[in-house]
Amino acid sequence: MIDSESPGLGLDLPAQPLEKSAAASPYRVLARKYRPQSFSELIGQEAMVQTLANAIASGRIAHAFLLTGVRGVGKTSTARLVAKALNCIGPDGQGGPTIDPCGQCEPCRAIAEGRHIDVTEMDAASHTGVDDVREIIDAVRYAAVSARFKIYIIDEVHMLSKNAFNALLKTLEEPPAHVKFLFATTEVNKVPVTVLSRCQRFDLKRIPAERLQAHFARIAELEHVEVEAEALAVVARAAEGSARDGLSILDQAIAHGEGQVTAAQVRDMLGLADRGRVRQLLATLLSGDATAALAQLDEAHALGLDPAALMRGLMETVHAVTRVKAGASADVLSSAEERAAAEELAGKLGWASLHRLWQLLLKGLADVGQAPDPHEAAGMALLRVIHAAELPDPATVLAQLQNGATIAAAAPAVSPARSTAATVASAAPPPPPSFVDLVEQLERSGQALLGLKLRDQVGLARYAPPELALKPLKPLGPDFPRELAAALKSLTGATWTINLSDGEAEPSLKQQEDMAEERARAAVLAEPSVAAALAAFPNATLESVSRPGA
């Protein structure tokens, strides 16, 4: 790490005169002050460092590197470290490329201070045109002035225009031996494959929260700031794998806490304290009180809370409850009160209720993002959540239809307060008496494709509910038994066993229908009156056979 008493080692500020007082020095945020100065300080990227070390040790150094990953994981810092590693000459001036640059030789110090003439860093976001790239192409022909390699670092390379990429291709494929390209990007999918194929790619990983927490703890110690371990865990979790984001949050937390940082202060600073309002709104939704829910939405709107943020907060709460119900560990961003509330709801809500809640809120979030008035869309979404609680679930509707019962309001799939409401009193429906009846009921339930396969593509070997043995007459696909068992369970409420074999079996229902039709045609043609009519009219044919009442 860079000590605060060692000015000039950072990559963003030049060396300051030693006689300059600390009070007069400009404040450097933690993300700049503690930027990695060696590969040993680059946390969470051990695999990439090992690959680079092996390449440098064996002399197999690529001419172009592409570094990709989310913001703040160290892409640009890594590019600068590679530049130092390739150009380091050691304290005695006799060293070669190394994965551990000395940091003392002139190339190392000049690169660290951003003043080396042979290391050019360009921001592609502000230099997107072909003319900017043409300057690089013209310059690569000349040897390095003082360094071993002339290095070009292009940050956010995906921002280059199509023409700029095309202009760079030939030089990128066959650059002079003294030139190395280092590209960094957060959106590698926007980089043309023609460029990707010419680079050695490194995907920098999100830094694990545990590593970030330990990293932030060391920085807090260097800054002489007391930070609770739980507060560091909250900062690390909120950073989402980005060291720079985490240091920015820590910087803000230190200012917020005036030298002493607690978990409660960090949660309040991040706006996590507003989750209490979200939990209250969710409880109102579950109670089915539409008036109160709209009143709470209006209150949140008056306080400036974004409707989309409110919907996301509700989804986060439902997700937290689902994690608790599944037995997963609680999120460190959650307070003890939030965890207790999640455990309580997990005990009241079933899996079907949680899944329905999630889908309704997800649809509501999409509506809020598309509607002309997000506040109105949020209100309609909340009302939809409340009234969906009164709808019976699909399994209940199907069971009632099979029993000829009138569809009544089932137990709500959302509201725990109404969990003792009307339930289906009838027993589970009996299985269909025959295979033909089973196929017909399956088709009436909306499973037309499965019904078609059972009619046309299989022969019945055994029908003993809940066991069904079939002989495939045509390819059915690997998922057919699983899909059929799931459909039959939804239809009958029983767990079915589906066996496919090549043994003896009846013809398919379609074949049986065809054979029955042929027998009917033959019987009609054998009638004396029909035979006489066909004899009198030689060109006449029997088009169809209809049964009485058909």
pLDDT digits (tens, 9 = 90+) for 20-37: 444 456 788 888 888 888
Specify the pTM. 0.56
Whether the pLDDT of residue 508 is over 60: the answer is yes
Whether the pLDDT of residue 176 is over 70: the answer is yes
Distance of alpha carbon 450 from alpha carbon 410, whole angstroms? 28
Tokens read off for 273: 């304290």
Please tell me the chain's helix, strand, coil percentages from 3-state DSSP, rounded to the nearest 5: 50, 10, 40
pLDDT at 363: 92
Distance of alpha carbon 358 from alpha carbon 118, whole angstroms? 55
pLDDT band at 346 (very low <50, low <70, confident <90, very high): confident
Sheet holding 200-203, edge to edge: 119-123, 150-155, 179-185, 64-68, 200-203
Whether the pLDDT of residue 149 is over 90: the answer is yes
**DSSP secondary-structure letter at 18?**
T
Whether the pLDDT of residue 2 is over 90: the answer is no
**H-helix or E-strand spanning residue 19:** none
pLDDT band at 425 (very low <50, low <70, confident <90, very high): very low
Q: What percent of the chain has pLDDT over 90?
A: 21
Which residues is 498 bridged to in the sheet? 468
Read out DSSP for 452-498?
HHHHHSEEEEEEETTEEEEEESS---TTHHHHHHHHHHHHHSSPPEE
pLDDT band at 152 (very low <50, low <70, confident <90, very high): very high
CATH number of 209-269: 1.10.8.60
Tokens read off for 357: 């809640």
Domain 276-388 maps to which CATH number in 2.170.190.11, 1.20.272.10, 3.75.10.10, 3.40.640.10? 1.20.272.10
Tell me the range of 351-355, 387-391, 426-430 where mean pLDDT is highest.
351-355
Domain 435-506 maps to which CATH number in 3.30.40, 3.30.300, 1.10.287, 3.90.120? 3.30.300
Question: Under a CB-based contact definition with an 8 Å cutoff, are residues 507 and 490 in contact?
Answer: no
Whether the pLDDT of residue 94 is over 80: the answer is yes
Domain map (residue ranges) of the chain = 36-203, 209-269, 276-388, 435-506
549 sits in the region (left: phi over 0; alpha: psi -120 to 50; else beta) called left
Average pLDDT, integer, range 231-255? 87
Could you tell me how far CA 325 lies from the centroid of its own chain? 21
pLDDT band at 180 (very low <50, low <70, confident <90, very high): very high
Q: How are beta strands 467-472 and 497-500 bridged, if at all?
A: parallel
pLDDT band at 362 (very low <50, low <70, confident <90, very high): very high
Phi, psi dihedral angles at 67 (to 5 degrees): -110, 120
User: How many helices (H) and strands (E) would you count in the chain?
Assistant: 23, 10
pLDDT band at 233 (very low <50, low <70, confident <90, very high): confident
Nearest CA-CA partner of 233 in 275, 259, 266: 266
Whether the pLDDT of residue 394 is over 70: the answer is no
Measured CA to CA in angstroms, residue 58 lies from 48, 55, 149, 412 at distances of: 16, 5, 17, 67
> Helix, strand or coil for residue 401?
helix
Question: Under a CB-based contact definition with an 8 Å cutoff, are residues 204 and 74 in contact?
Answer: yes
Nearest CA-CA partner of 505 in 437, 550, 457, 450: 457
125-134 pLDDT, tens digit per residue, is: 888 889 889 9
Question: Under a CB-based contact definition with an 8 Å cutoff, are residues 80 and 11 in contact?
Answer: yes
Q: How many Cβ atoms are within 10 Å of 539's Cβ, its own excluded?
A: 5
pLDDT band at 217 (very low <50, low <70, confident <90, very high): very high
pLDDT at 417: 40
Angle formed at CA 181 by CA 180 and CA 184, multiple of 5 degrees: 145
Please report, as a single letter, which amino acid is at residue 545. Answer: V
pLDDT at 482: 87
pLDDT at 185: 93
Nearest CA-CA partner of 52 in 43, 39, 69: 39
pLDDT at 502: 84
**DSSP secondary-structure letter at 414?**
S
pLDDT at 199: 92
Domain 36-203 maps to which CATH number in 3.40.50.10800, 3.40.50.300, 1.10.340.30, 3.10.310.30? 3.40.50.300
